[in-house]
A and B are shown apart, each in its own frame.
Chain A
Amino acid sequence: MTTLLRPPVLGLAAVLMAAPAAAQSGPLAEKLALCAACHGEDGNSKMEKIPSLAGQPAFYVLNQLFLMREGVRKVEAMAAIVKDLKDQDLTDLSEHYAKLAPKRSDEPIDPELVKRGKELATQQRCASCHLPTLAGQEQMPRVARQRIDYLVPTLKSYRDHPRDGADTAMSQPVGGLHDADITALAHYAASL
């Protein structure tokens, strides 16, 4: 499932080359330029399968960067980028993204799926951790306005296990969901 989360190899190479040129000033700006190449200048990703970070709870981004740096959450494309980040960098980056405004991506959203997804979200009690707005809190990510093509493989990776080790709390709510349910949930979350 991790392979699904990998951006095109060429894209990454371009990012790594473009990064120094895009640097504005200071070490944080340099890092942000690197992030922006995939996750969007304003933290809203325009790139397939790359998550938006705008409006994510700071704790969530900090935690995930940490888990990727330590190899608990394995995302190949991120490994080299997070490898040398210090705890303070993780904190600065997470605080930056928490302040940005989340926007919907330009993926087509199917209203019927949204309706079904809303029912499923109630059933699966997504709101009890992610809040009724699905804006997330603390270690729980914002899924509202997240990209559909990121949410679908992510939910599947919790269901089918590659990702559940880093976060055992998700193994139960997604257990037994059909692919179609997952798609519907993703459309609902993206529509908010």
Chain B
Amino acid sequence: MSISTSYRRGFLFAGSLALVMAAGGPLAAQPGFSTMDKSNPANSKQDTNLKPIPTPPVAPSVDKLPLDKIKLPQGFKIEVWSSGHPGARTMVMGDKGTMFMGTRVIGRVYAITEKDGKREAKVLLQGLTQPNGLAFKDGSLYVFAINKVFRYDNIESKLDNPGTPVELTEAFGLPDTVHHNWKYVDFGPDGKLYVQVGANCNICEINPGVHGQIRRYNADGTGMEIVARGVRNTVGFDWHPVTKELWFTDNGRDWAGNGGPEDELNRVPKGQEGANFGFPYCHANGIPDPDVKRPNPCAGVQLPAALTGPHAAGLGIKFYTGDMFPKEYKNVAFIARHGSWNREKKFGYDVAIARTSGDKAKISPFLTGLLNEEKNEQYGRPSYVFQMKDGSLLVSDETNGAVYRISYGNPKTAGKQ
């Protein structure tokens, strides 16, 4: 058999490779992962059968949504804002009120519009590779998939036929590696388009010139600057309404224990653009990595403003600037915690708030009830938050393909469909 012969040649080669590895050669890798990845699940003492949670490509009907499970502080109300759009994640709103929604695996971008008092979600784009990154400016929708960047001009007048976009893939020159490379993008107060490039592994030495960054560009993809380095996997950021500083969530590494290292809420201090946030050597509040080591791993590292929980997966973050919620919520950040997979006892599946004060923040629960700790079961995965003009807050739920609207006080405004 020719297969067998060629295999034996391969085996000999693999055999000599194993010797190199045993001798501590440059290709030494933990079994089970790419040559890049340095994690050692056996050392983590976790259940090695932990696995990522799938996103159903089909959304449940409205009556099956877990609305009755959700708990909020007194005075707040929740209702279904839209449903039936599987994989619901990022939300950006056009000038004319169209809600654009990005997804990951299912590759769709939705346009949610209101028609005859009813909300309708239509598939605007499909077949993209994880189009999680959406931004809207001057009538144009920017779509960032893993390997493509498109701009759809005047999109709100072309929802039925978006036509051919302006392709900006080359201009942005982003890497096409898939790992941690689904995008989050937003225009900052400086008018620049902020884009992250995640670490292309769970834990490894990354090329700091390419990966583990938040960058900013002019809207046409020129003038790239690095705003933050050593960032493992942020998929949500926002600017503090008063200080205008950039705050971002960051997901900690996996396979280093059920306890973390905890996820982070970080701040890029004014004038310190380009600061280093520690990946891969230093995690959370100064925890050296157990697998990727170097002397003084946390030296010069910008430590987080707050820890956001073990494997909690804080994704979307928005500072609240509306008038509907009580005053104590003004300038408070809402963080959607998608919920853990690499943890035996589930954690997260909620919306937390971060009250910031200078360089620190205090995290407390806000929307809860989607995690049953006793049964170790979850009923939904909050992904992103969006503040409406009236001050109500939208929360997307990726598992249930729905968006919930949280309102406070005046029942007339709160009950408006």
The chain A residues found within 8 Å of chain B, CB to CB, are 59, 62-63, 66-67, 70-72, 87, 90-91, 108, 110, 112-113, 116, 122-125, 127-129, 138-140, 161, 164-169, 171-176, 178-181, 183-184
Tell yes or no: B9 within 8 A of A by CB: yes
> When chains A and B are docked, how far (Å) is the Cα of A167 from the Cα of B4?
30
Instruction: Tell me which of B34, B106, B128 has the highest count of chain A C-beta atoms within 10 A of its own C-beta.
Output: B34
Residues of A with C-beta under 8 A to B52: 169
Residues of B with C-beta under 8 A to A108: 1
- Other A-B contacts than A128-B50, A169-B52, A181-B14, 4 sampled, CB-CB below 8 A, are A59-B56, A166-B107, A167-B105, A179-B6
Contact B7 A180 (CB under 8 A): yes
The chain B residues found within 8 Å of chain A, CB to CB, are 1, 3-4, 6-7, 9-11, 13-14, 29, 31-37, 41, 48-52, 54, 56-58, 105-108, 126-130, 146-147, 176-179, 182, 201-202
- Asked, given contacts A63-B54, A63-B57, A176-B29, whether A72 binds B128 with beta carbons under 8 Å apart, the answer is yes
Kindly provide the distance from the CB of B100 to the nearest chain A CB, expressed in whole angstroms.
17
Contact B179 A138 (CB under 8 A): no
- Asked, given contacts A110-B4, A168-B178, whether A71 binds B107 with beta carbons under 8 Å apart, the answer is yes
> When chains A and B are docked, how far (Å) is the Cα of A190 from the Cα of B137?
52
Residues of B with C-beta under 8 A to A172: 33-34, 37, 179, 201-202
Residues of B with C-beta under 8 A to A62: 57-58
Residues of A with C-beta under 8 A to B50: 128
Top 4 nearest A-B pairs (CB, nearest first) are A180-B10, A175-B34, A71-B127, A165-B129
Kindly provide the distance from the CB of B53 to the nearest chain A CB, expressed in whole angstroms.
9
Contact B106 A66 (CB under 8 A): yes
> When chains A and B are docked, how far (Å) is the Cα of A123 from the Cα of B56?
29
Residues of B with C-beta under 8 A to A63: 54, 57, 105
Contact B35 A176 (CB under 8 A): yes
Residues of A with C-beta under 8 A to B29: 176
Residues of B with C-beta under 8 A to A183: 3, 6-7, 10
Residues of B with C-beta under 8 A to A122: 31
> When chains A and B are docked, how far (Å) is the Cα of A75 from the Cα of B326?
53
> When chains A and B are docked, how far (Å) is the Cα of A92 from the Cα of B220?
46
Q: Which one, B1, B32, B54, contacts A125 given CB within 8 A?
A: B32
Interface residues of chain A: helix, strand, loop or mixed (majority) = helix
Interface residues of chain B: helix, strand, loop or mixed (majority) = loop
Contact A110 B57 (CB under 8 A): no
Residues of B with C-beta under 8 A to A138: 54
Residues of A with C-beta under 8 A to B147: 165
> When chains A and B are docked, how far (Å) is the Cα of A179 from the Cα of B182?
28
- Asked, given contacts A66-B106, A70-B108, whether A110 binds B31 with beta carbons under 8 Å apart, the answer is no
Residues of A with C-beta under 8 A to B129: 72, 165-166
Kindly provide the distance from the CB of A91 to the nearest chain B CB, expressed in whole angstroms.
7
Q: Which one, B3, B13, B36, B48, contacts A110 given CB within 8 A?
A: B3
Kindly provide the distance from the CB of A122 to the nearest chain B CB, expressed in whole angstroms.
8
Residues of A with C-beta under 8 A to B57: 62-63, 66-67, 90
Contact A128 B58 (CB under 8 A): no
> When chains A and B are docked, how far (Å) is the Cα of A167 from the Cα of B11?
28
> When chains A and B are docked, how far (Å) is the Cα of A91 from the Cα of B176?
32
> When chains A and B are docked, how far (Å) is the Cα of A123 from the Cα of B14?
13
- Asked, given contacts A63-B54, A112-B4, whether A125 binds B31 with beta carbons under 8 Å apart, the answer is yes
Q: Which one, B11, B34, B49, B106, contacts A180 given CB within 8 A?
A: B11
Contact B58 A90 (CB under 8 A): yes
- Asked, given contacts A123-B31, A138-B54, whether A72 binds B105 with beta carbons under 8 Å apart, the answer is yes
Kindly provide the distance from the CB of A69 to the nearest chain B CB, expressed in whole angstroms.
9
Q: Which one, A87, A174, A178, contacts B58 given CB within 8 A?
A: A87
Residues of B with C-beta under 8 A to A140: 51
Q: Which residue of A lies closest to B12 (CB)?
A: A180
Kindly provide the distance from the CB of B269 to the nearest chain A CB, expressed in whole angstroms.
32
Provide 27 A-B residue pairs closer than 8 Å at the C-beta atoms, listed in order of the A residue: A59-B56, A63-B57, A66-B58, A70-B126, A70-B127, A87-B58, A110-B4, A112-B7, A113-B4, A124-B32, A125-B32, A125-B48, A127-B49, A128-B51, A166-B129, A167-B105, A168-B178, A171-B178, A171-B179, A172-B34, A172-B179, A175-B33, A176-B34, A179-B6, A180-B11, A181-B14, A183-B7
